[in-house]
Amino acid sequence: MLQAAGQLIEEQGLEKFTLRECARRAGVSHGAPAHHFGDVRGLLTALVTESFEQLHAAMAAHEAAAAPDAYSQLVANGQAYVAYALAHRGRFQLMFRRDRVHHDDAALQQAGEATYGRLQRHIAAVLTQAKAGHALQEPKALLAWTVVHGLSTLSLENGLFEHQGGVPAATAAKLLELFMVMLRPGLEMADAPPPRRKAAAARTRKQDAT
């Protein structure tokens, strides 16, 4: 059923997805999907869970082939994200449609958190290597995710590469590598100092005390 659902999503998109057609492709009765998954939302939830697991595995493979330093591992993680999105348009678009899945499903949450956790660990390693401090670790992880997700989405919608008549995966990969070069100073910057007004207030209190 999941294999049939994945094929249907990739070929026809979410809007034309039906349990009946999925059952037909899987060679089972029309009632089988509802019996195993409850409803269409339940089947799509299982499909998204599987998709996050696939993305997690793709990240591991890209990272294993990259240089071992922290920033190269972070870049490989992002390249896996973009490559998966371009290779699995239907799945990728569904993965972020909370309105079509049971987003509080335990298995789905575990798979999603494991995938995002890889990015967080790479960001932490980059900050440690740069001796930048970890106070801004979460915003920096969100910044890196925004870059790779934005590039993936623009590539899929064909707006970014419309003049080339398609979505070239190699061009997207090179763009991401360039983006990560430009992003590196921001990710590796030290934690922001306290606001000046607080420092000034502290000096005032010290002067008053003396």
The long-range contacts involving 110-117, CB below 8 angstroms and separated by at least 24 positions, are 111/49, 111/52, 111/53, 111/56, 112/52, 114/52, 114/56, 115/52, 115/55, 115/56, 115/59, 116/141, 116/145
Domains of the chain: 1-38 (1.10.10.60), 41-191 (1.10.357.10)
210 has a pLDDT exceeding 90: no
The CA distance from 203 to 94, in Å, is 54
Residue 33 — very low, low, confident or very high, per pLDDT cuts 50/70/90? confident
Q: What percent of the chain has pLDDT over 90?
A: 63
pLDDT in the model for residue 22 = 86
Q: Which amino acid is at 40?
A: V
pLDDT score for 20: 85
Q: How far apart are CA 180 and CA 75, in angstroms?
A: 7
Query: Alpha helix (H) ranges present in the chain?
Result: 2-12, 19-26, 32-37, 40-65, 70-87, 89-95, 106-130, 137-157, 169-188, 196-209
Average pLDDT, stretch 60-71? 97
> In the predicted model, what is the mean pLDDT of the chain?
88
Predicted local confidence at residue 162, as pLDDT: 59
Neighbouring C-beta atoms of residue 205, cutoff 10 Å: 10
Q: Is 70 exceeded by the pLDDT of residue 136?
A: yes
| Residues 28-32, mean pLDDT to the nearest whole number | 80
Contact between residue 23 and residue 30 where contact means Cβ atoms under 8 Å apart: yes
* Dihedral over Cα of 74, 80, 81, 86: its sign: positive
Tally of CA atoms within 13 A in the half-sphere of 58 that contains its CB: 17
Nearest one of 25, 43, 24 to 34, comparing CA atoms: 43
Residue for token pair 């195993």: 36
Share of the chain above pLDDT 70, in %: 86
The more confidently predicted of residues 120 and 14 is: 120
pTM: 0.85
Provide the residue count of the chain: 210
CB crowding 2-28: b at 16 or more within 10 Å, else e: bebbbebbeeeeeeebebeebbeebee
pLDDT score of 19: 84
Q: What was the pLDDT predicted at 158?
A: 66
Tokens of 131: 């001796």
Residue 79's pLDDT is what? Answer: 96
